[in-house]
Structure 1
Amino acid sequence: MVLWFPTPYPDELLYSVLARYHVRAGNTSPKITTEELFGKRTVRSVWDLPANLNALLKNTGDYWNAEQLILNYTMYPYYAAFLLPQQAKKIKQAMMNDEGSTIHTRIGMAASNVKLKENFWVCSHCIKDDMETYGETYWRRIHQCPGVFFCPTHEVELEETIVSVRDFNQHEYIVATALVKRRKNNMGELKKEEIQLLKAISQSSYSLLTTNYLQKDNNSLRDKYLELLKQNEYATPNGRVKRDRLYSGFKAKFSSRCLELLQSTVEFVEADWLTMIFQKHRKSFHPIRHLLVMSFLDTDLNHLFDKNEYHPFGKGPWLCLNVACSDYRKRVVKDIGVTIDYDTRKPVGTFQCNCGFVYSRKGPDINKEDKFRIGTIKEYGHVWKQKLTEAVNEGKTLTEISREFQADRATIKKYADKLQLNVPWKAPKIVAKIVQNSIEDLENQLQLRKEKWLEIQELYPEKSKTELRKLVPDVYAFLYRNDQDWLNDFSPIKNKIQTPNHRVDWKKRDEELLALLKQAVRNWDFDVEKPTRITATSLGKKINKLSVLEKKSEKLPESMNFINKVSEDLVAFQKRRVEFCIEKLTEEGEPIIEWQIYKKAGLRSNVSNEVKRFISLKVTQYESANNK
């Protein structure tokens, strides 16, 4: 057991602590240091996710506990937040034991397109502060995170040192020094919003390291994402993601330059990370990509991991505001529904008491008095009506009842009439005024809906009337019911390219499609990394006429005959992949060997005998040609 050990600094890598121990111990070889700390010389000096921590704890005594060591001085919390719960648990166990060879594979780092930084990074301002405070500096965790180019403390650009995170000696410990050679990273001229994004990524990365975020279950994050997609109209109410709208919005928000810096460019394909991250999580995604999605959906880590739940109307139960109820102003309401106001996007709470009284108000509540506020009474309920009946039967005057129930006289008259109560007062003389007010209110509502309808057309000039209707169904329905003529006059007119009686010349259309199909086949797989199979579907997509080919195939005989002729079955496609692979190997000057063809062509060993014979034949032909 070692008799002393350096005190770790805030956010210091365990690797950095061990490096400082190595220097102060005066050991001539890093293996001596490794043996002193771990009890054996074979442990590698891994900077981010080290293993054999049980052995280290044993040799350093009660200096710290395992949880403190992993969460505060390794990169584990940065990755663990977005791992599946069981996966995060296994990674922690592997770090405690001697299973270091499995950690980076399990975490998905080996297969990730987001690569680690090659060298250690530092902040000049942090180094200056360290020298003034501690008399030495150290390697910080946050500065080594992929995608972190700004110091979250000083908000200045980080600098890359010449110290490699993978030293040629896998047992070496390199200590940080104030004089370490370093250079500023060339990120080009960034716009203000790009710099803001990169700084936000740095801050969020630091939060990951300093807060123990963990998923509750395998799809808790995905479920949160889906709700946010629905709220932002990137998914339908039943959860189907609108990929075209999603990708369009994502590319509009983030510049190509930033996505390249963050190693997270997107392509509109099924296997793209931006598509798969919203599907059920069967594998992990790099933290950078989760942080980008969070920024895109205007949310944060605390919301995703339920660290601070959002309660726009405070925590329940809530107050009953029915003056006729015995529980008036008591916290008895447990039933609340929260929706979002269409125009202001602010929360609207609807509260329902057991007395039948239902009221709503727009939030969020800001001060203590807001909880006593009623925006709209949606239902007075059976208790209120029963109390009104009793008050009328007791012979109370309209003024007394109005004051007791805190309702205007017109409301009391209205409900007394609905309940068919025998009242002493006369029929209201303000009927005409009420009608007039109703007419004026309708006109105001109509005007508001008309302005909204015209505004949505300005925002989406290319959309048809039907498409606009889907965007604002409530506005359309109101105008349709109350002023259908105006709606027809001020809606997009469908452009009719053909006259109503014009018939499609299917023979000509067939010839045009055939020409497109032939052109597509001639250029098939031109200048691509790997071939794709020729099928009716892939051909239709290639010429952007899949729907016509599927729905009108009987009217397109020449095109369909051509498609049937050139379409490939699996064996034919595999043979073409082999030929494509051989051509590539020849261009690169590589030998034509069977195992290499299988690997390059992505073929398994259990392909059909016909394909196996074809590969053997090609290899034989190559060898014969080279032996001449």
Structure 2
Amino acid sequence: MMTFFPVPYKDELLYSVLARYHIRSGNVSNKATQKDIYGTDSITAIMDLPSHISRIMENLPVGHHYTPEYLITNHTLYPFYSAFLPSEHATKVKESMIGDKGGSIYNKIGLMASSIKLYQYFKFCPQCVEEDLYNLGELYWHRIHQIPGVLVCLEHKMPLYDSQVSIRGYNKHDYRLATIENCRINTSDLQYSDNIMEKAINIAEDIEFLLNNKMKNKRSDWFRVQYLSKLKELGFANVNGKIKQKELLNSFLDFYEHGFLEKLQSDIGNNNNWLSDMLWRKNRTSHPIRHLLFIRFLGISISDLFNKKIEYKPFGDKPWPCLNPVADHYLRPVITDIEIEYGAESKGPIGLFRCDCGYVYLRTGPDHEEKDRYKLTKVKNFGSVWETKLEELTNKRFSLRDTARQLQVDPATVKKYAKKLGLKTYWTKRGQEEKKRTNTIEQCSVINNKEKNRRDWLNLRKQYPIKSKTELRQVNNRVFTWLYRNDRDWLNQNSPRLKSTIHDSHRVNWGDRDEGILEIVKVAITEMLSIDGKPKRITVSSIGSMLGIRPLLEKHLDKLPKTKEYMVEHTEGIRDFQVRRLQWAVQELREEGQDLSLWRIYRKAGIRENFQKELQEEAIKLVAKENDLYPCVDK
């Protein structure tokens, strides 16, 4: 039995409290300390999820105020590991920690099958060491510092270092205390990029939240449903729940650097796609770190994840407005009945809105702003109120256009529903007369246009007697197009005959043409090299397209020897172009103030993965050169 018990410090591991007891008790052997604590000398010293808590309670000094719940919640890693477990599993783990079944804890919590392992050594923050020694006169093992995935001290915003104390020590019954001697920095100063430091702090903050706030355990599929709703909202899944796997994975890897994921033992590769397992394999236990990585990516707070049911609402909250233009509640939010489907053509959600007035309409989503709620894609059913209004307007002998205007539909829809409802209309005869009159006017218009366009075409021929039919078309395309569509036989009879192109090459002075083209090619290449924005590869085709002479360059370059020689010297192969893109990307990232990580450079330059290894040496040289130009920038 223990004659005293050290008061636990803030966020101190129970392991550390027992280590302080061992030192203060004056016990020479570990077995003596074990008998004081547990009443036996065969209990293994566990850092994260210790068992036999009930034995500790039995051997505490008389009058203590501690409970198993208090020690487990405040001085073990149970709150972190149990947060994402179903309630029944979490309860069994806690019961095993209180009792003598410590061997089953790691299986129940899913750590035996996890690829994330405990740190090899206890971690410490140098600043915490100084402050603990000054304020307390001794050191202790901080609980949050020992959690896999915590890279930094939240209080001091600095990296954590390995101590000389192994978490799985050589003597499994030994409790090792944190001391000045075993908490020395033996490696060079750790430094993380701003990007990694920011993400490491975010993850540590989420872990601290789990440690200090009791989260209500959820059923096994809760988190998967929450994630799926958010994925729909972000466009990574459709309404039916089909996830765009490749797009999601690429975005996730863009959000987190490979280096950062490796530090958290959570990188994603061909043989370890834990993200897919977490989303698609039901009832699979995922490590809490990976849940935290994913919710940060999705933009979900821990509090909302546990306490707020995330629902996919592409059309916002009910009620929605009725868009029946003849209803007395027009545009008022009265609709509460909605069905959401996936639109195969629109590749997005489609909402089916039903109003009590019978008006049913569709619209595609999702909504991006308030005015989107008043858009209408298609009316599925006009309803009795609308049909009654149609009958009323018909009986009052309103014109077809006035009726359509008041009902906010086109005349064809009015006719369709008037026929469907068996309504007697008077506008049919007048409509036929109007159509006949319209046809007569159109026929006169065609005759007048034919005479005018024929005159214009003959005038073109007189004005440009040596131009071909194609050249005349370029002069006045409007006249040519009208005649081609409406008076083609006359056009063919009154157009210049096709010129023979046989033996025509002797009339081209290729020497003069070569000189002229060479000059404009030089200007074009200079412009392409100095253009703002992402570089464009300099090829015969790209130069020709820019100048509008691509067919000439591709078919007759051999007849332009000077131009050809210049272009051979200045056009780019694939590798030369890729190097120029890398140079551009490095300059752009430097101007944007971003760090020159290779993955960031490749992405900015648009270098495909199969070329990255080949260009790695060139990219490293560019980064080194850039850092030499800016020595004040942290390398």
In the superposition, the TM-score normalised over structure 1's length comes to: 0.51
Question: 2: distance between equivalents of 1:226 and 1:185?
Answer: 43
**What CA distance in whole angstroms lies between the structure 2 residues aligned with 1:334 and 1:125?**
59
* Matched residue, 1:292: 293
The alpha-carbon distance between structure 1 residues 273 and 3, as it changes in their structure 2 partners (threshold 3 A), is same
Alpha carbons of structure 1 residues 159 and 318: separation in structure 2 relative to 1, 3 Å: same
Match of 1:247 in 2: 249
Instruction: Tell me the residue number matched to 2:522.
Output: none
**SS across alignment from 1:41:** coil
Between the aligned partners of 2:49 and 2:74, the Cα distance in structure 1 is 12
Per-residue CA distance 1:405-433 (angstroms, 9 max, x = gap): xxxx999xxxxxxxxxxxxxxxxxxxxxx
Mapping of 1:94-105 within 5 angstroms? 94-105=96-107
Give CA-to-partner distance per residue, 1:516-536, whole Å, 9 cap, x none. xxxxxxxxxxxxxxxxxxxxx
Comparing 349-358 with 32-41, which one deviates more in the overlay? 349-358
Larger CA deviation: 32-41 vs 183-192 = 183-192
Give the superposition deviation at 1:185: 6.3
Q: 2:221 aligns with which of 206, 219, 222?
A: 219
2:337 & 2:137 partners in 1: Cα distance?
59
User: Which residue number corresponds to residue 174 of structure 2?
Assistant: 172
Question: Is the Cα contact below 8 Å between 2:121 and 2:164 reproduced in 1?
Answer: yes
How far residue 179 of structure 1 moved from its aligned partner, in angstroms, is 4.9
Could you tell me whether the CA contact under 8 Å between 2:15 and 2:47 is conserved in 1? yes
Do 1:39 and 1:55's aligned partners in 2 also have CA atoms closer than 8 Å? yes
**CA separation in 1, counterparts of 2:30 and 2:208?**
30
1:298-349, Cα deviation, whole Å (9 max, x unpaired) = 223222212697999xxx999999xx999xx999999999xxxxxxxxxxx9
* Paired AA for residue 180 in structure 1: N
The correspondence of residues 137-148 of structure 1 with structure 2, limited to 5 A, is 137-148=139-150
Structure 1 stretches of 4+ moved >4 Å: 184-189, 307-312, 316-321, 329-337, 349-358, 373-376
1:18 offset after TM fit, Å?
Answer: 1.1
Q: Tell me if the contact between 2:82 and 2:90 (Cα under 8 Å) persists in the aligned partners.
A: yes
Task: State the AA in 2 paired with 1:246.
Answer: L
Distance 2:142 2:132 in 1: 11
Name the CA distance, whole Å, in 1 between partners of 2:296 and 2:280: 18
Aligned CA distance change for structure 1 residues 186 and 107 (closer, same or farther; 3 Å)? farther
Q: Percent identity at matched positions?
A: 34
Q: Does 1:39 align with 2:39?
A: yes
CA distance in 1, matches of 2:37, 2:14: 12
> Match of 1:107, as an amino acid?
I
Deviation at 1:65, TM superposition (A): 2.0
Counterpart of 2:226 in structure 1: which amino acid? K
Per-residue CA shift, 1:575-615, capped at 9, x if unaligned?
Answer: xxxxxxxxxxxxxxxxxxxxxxxxxxxxxxxxxxxxxxxxx
Correspondence 1:353-368 to 2 at 5 A: none
CA separation in 2, counterparts of 1:251 and 1:185?
A: 30
Aligned partners of 2:226 and 2:309 also within 8 Å: no
Distance in 2 between the 1:234 and 1:199 partners? Answer: 26
Matched, 1:275 2:283: no
Contact 1:80/1:213, CA 8 A, preserved across alignment: no
Matches within 5 A, 1:85-484: 85-183=87-185, 190-268=192-270, 272-306=273-307
CA-CA distance at 1:184 after TM superposition:
6.7
- Whole-angstrom CA distance in 1 between matches of 2:24 and 2:191: 43
Partner of 1:20: 20
Segments of 5+ residues of structure 1 without an aligned counterpart are: 338-348, 365-369, 386-408, 412-457, 462-628
- DSSP-derived class of the 2:279 partner: coil
Alpha carbons of structure 1 residues 119 and 330: separation in structure 2 relative to 1, 3 Å: same
How has the CA–CA distance of structure 1 residues 180 and 114 changed in structure 2, closer, same or farther, with 3 Å as cutoff?
A: same
CA distance in 2, matches of 1:63, 1:41: 25
One-letter amino acid matched to 2:285? S
User: Does the Cα contact within 8 Å between 2:14 and 2:76 map onto a contact in 1?
Assistant: yes
Shift of 1:282: 3.0
The question of whether the paired residues in 1 share the 8 Å contact of 2:151 and 2:200 is answered with yes
Cα gap change, 1:40 to 1:165, in 2 (>3 Å): same
What amino acid does structure 2 have at the position aligned with 1:24?
R
* Cα deviation digits, residues 237-289 of structure 1 (max 9, x gap): 322332222222222222221121111121245x6312211113333222222
Q: Could you tell me whether the CA contact under 8 Å between 1:15 and 1:173 is conserved in 2? A: yes
Paired letter, 1:274 = L
Summarize the Cα distance change of 1:303–1:263 in structure 2 as closer, same or farther, 3 Å threshold.
same
Distance 2:320 2:333 in 1: 5
Q: Once the 2 structures are TM-superposed, how far is the Cα of residue 355 of structure 1 from its aligned partner? A: 10
Corresponding residue SS for 2:177: coil
Q: 1:207-251, CA deviations, whole angstroms, 9 ceiling, x for partnerless residues?
A: 222222354211111111222222233233322332222222222
CA contact (8 A) 1:302 1:308 kept: no
Q: Distance in 2 between matches of 1:117 and 1:14?
A: 17
The 5 A counterparts of 1:531-542 are none
Distance 1:243 1:268 in 2: 13
Aligned-partner Cα distance in 2 for 1:185–1:214: 41
Q: Is the 8 A contact 1:91 1:103 kept in 2?
A: yes
Match of 2:68 among 53, 66, 69: 66
Name the aligned partner's letter for residue 88 of structure 1: A
Q: Distance in 1 between matches of 2:184 and 2:236?
A: 44
2:110–2:285 Cα contact (<8 Å) kept: yes
CA contact (8 A) 1:120 1:160 kept: yes
CA-to-partner distance for each residue in 1:41-80, whole Å, 9 max, x for gaps? 2111111110011111222265222222211110111111
Structure 1 residues 153 and 52: alpha-carbon distance in aligned structure 2, compared to 1, 3 A threshold = same
Match of 1:5 in 2: 5
Cross-structure match for 2:499: none
Name the CA distance, whole Å, in 2 between partners of 1:180 and 1:107: 31
For 2:256, the aligned partner's letter is F
Hey, what's the Cα distance between the residues in 2 that align with 1:230 and 1:317? 19
Amino acid at match of 1:34: Q
Taking the aligned partners of 2:269 and 2:92, their CA distance within structure 1 comes to 33
Determine the C-alpha separation between the residues in 2 that align with 1:273 and 1:129.
Answer: 39
Structure 1 residue 4: Cα displacement: 2.9
Letter aligned with residue 280 of structure 2: Q
Residues 223 and 117 (structure 1), Cα distance of their counterparts in 2 relative to 1, 3 Å cut: same
Q: Indicate conservation of the 8 Å contact 1:334/1:353, yes or no.
A: yes
For 1:36 and 1:325, locate their aligned partners in 2 and report how far apart those are by CA, in whole Å. 83
SS at match of 1:277: helix
- Tell me the distance in 1 between the aligned counterparts of 2:291 and 2:352: 33
Aligned length: 421
For 1:167 and 1:332, the matched residues in 2 are separated by 66
Question: Per-residue deviation at 1:187?
Answer: 8.9
Contact in 1 for aligned 2:80/2:210 (Cα 8 Å): yes
Contact 1:138 1:176 (C-alpha < 8 Å) held by counterparts: yes
- Change in CA separation of 1:229 and 1:335 when aligned onto 2, cut-off 3 Å: closer
Alignment of 1:491-502 (within 5 A): none
Q: How many Å separate the matches in 1 of 2:154 and 2:170?
A: 31
Aligned partner of residue 160 in structure 1, secondary structure: strand
Distance 2:186 2:128 in 1: 15
Normalising to structure 2: TM-score of the pair?
0.50
Q: CA deviation at 1:135?
A: 3.1
Q: Please say which structure displays the higher CA radius of gyration.
A: 2
Would the aligned equivalents of 1:31 and 1:41 in 2 still touch at CA under 8 Å? yes
Note the alpha carbon deviations across 1:523-561, whole angstroms, 9 max, x for none: xxxxxxxxxxxxxxxxxxxxxxxxxxxxxxxxxxxxxxx
Work out the CA distance in 2 between the residues paired with 1:233 and 1:254.
19
**Structure 1 residue 111, shift from structure 2 partner:** 3.0
Q: Is the 8 A contact 1:84 1:284 kept in 2?
A: no
One-letter amino acid matched to 1:225: Y
**In structure 1, how many angstroms separate the alpha carbons of the residues matched to 2:179 and 2:148?**
22
2-structure distance, mates of 1:334, 1:246: 32
For residues 31 and 325 of structure 1, what CA distance do their matches in structure 2 show? Answer: 86
Change in CA separation of 1:185 and 1:90 when aligned onto 2, cut-off 3 Å: farther
Amino acid at match of 1:177: T
